[in-house]
Amino acid sequence: MVNTKVTLCGLELDNPVIPASGTFGFGYEFAELYDINCLGTFSFKGTTAEPRFGNPTPRIAEFSGGLLNAVGLQNPGVDAVIAEELPKLAKCFHKPVMANISGFSLEEYVSVAEKLNACEQVGWLEVNISCPNVHGGGMSFGTDPAAAAMVTKAVKAVTTKPVIVKLSPNVTDIVAIAKACEDAGADAVSLINTVMGMRIDLKKKKPIIANRTGGMSGPALLPLAVRMVYQVYDAVKIPIVGLGGVSTAEDVVELMLAGATAVEVGAANLVEPYACRNIVEDLPRVMEKYGIKNLSDIIGGAH
């Protein structure tokens, strides 16, 4: 018998498979298709202080290695999430859930974190620092070590939950950002978020996405994610949640060997709604194939 259990920031997961924020809604939609309690946990839709309609359409463009999206953090706002979404989720998911939070100012991150900290269902706060800082010239919080540290410290001050900072790959040195978050008190980091890209419609001779650019996700990102997780693992002592291009159980094992404690699955859920369930079911076979008895033993094993 193989053991798929891992421990993320003190909370045990039955397996390391976590649907990524923005690709799994608030979970109950997928619960109509299969029992989502088979998952380690999942990261729910990025939540902001106020409701957001998101970006204009079209928001999605495909390419051979995945897809681009510019949804724009569409969500009902933190108060509606707590009042409506979490009670619905509680009926079908009986494990701690990961709350993904976003903000366009330091105050917004703090406000959302404070409110979700009071929710018993929430096990971890995943802090998306890829948002533009409206008070800092529009530059993403995640592109500057000082700004990343500032958000980390502010959120840590208002929560008792483990704080996982989600890093952007659209930087020169992701290791410096990860170190800054660790030094500021982050309990873990998750990487990578999407890479900025663009597609152009040849007939219209204009960008396909109304927003012009969008976040690249899908299988093409896996080697970039493996490289960045590997580099960050060498630099920090806190756990890493690896993501980017994961679509198979083999991909999960590869990211764990690079240094990930748990692994998020994003775009694959949009292409195949059963992707995460299939990965969970296939993990024991892959572990046996490669002689792995305990998944937790292979974390960072490629170093």
Which residue, 258, 198, 204, 205, is CA-closest to 228?
258
Q: Write the CB contacts of 204 (distance below 8 Å, at least 6 apart in sequence).
A: none
Known catalytic residues are: 131
Return d(Cα 280, Cα 18) in angstroms, integer. 10
Q: Do residues 118 and 125 lie in contact, with contact meaning Cβ atoms separated by under 8 Å?
A: no
Which residue, 136, 139, 99, 142, is CA-closest to 117?
99
Return d(Cα 188, Cα 207) in angstroms, integer. 36
Output phi, psi for 165, to 5 deg. -95, 125
Rg of the chain, C-alpha, whole Å:
18
What is the token pair recorded at 104?
């366009």
| Torsion sign over Cα 167, 173, 175, 177 | negative
What is the token pair recorded at 131?
């948002």
Report the DSSP pairing between strands 214-217 and 206-207: unpaired
With vertex at residue 295, the alpha carbon angle to CA 291 and CA 300, rounded to the nearest 5 degrees, is: 95
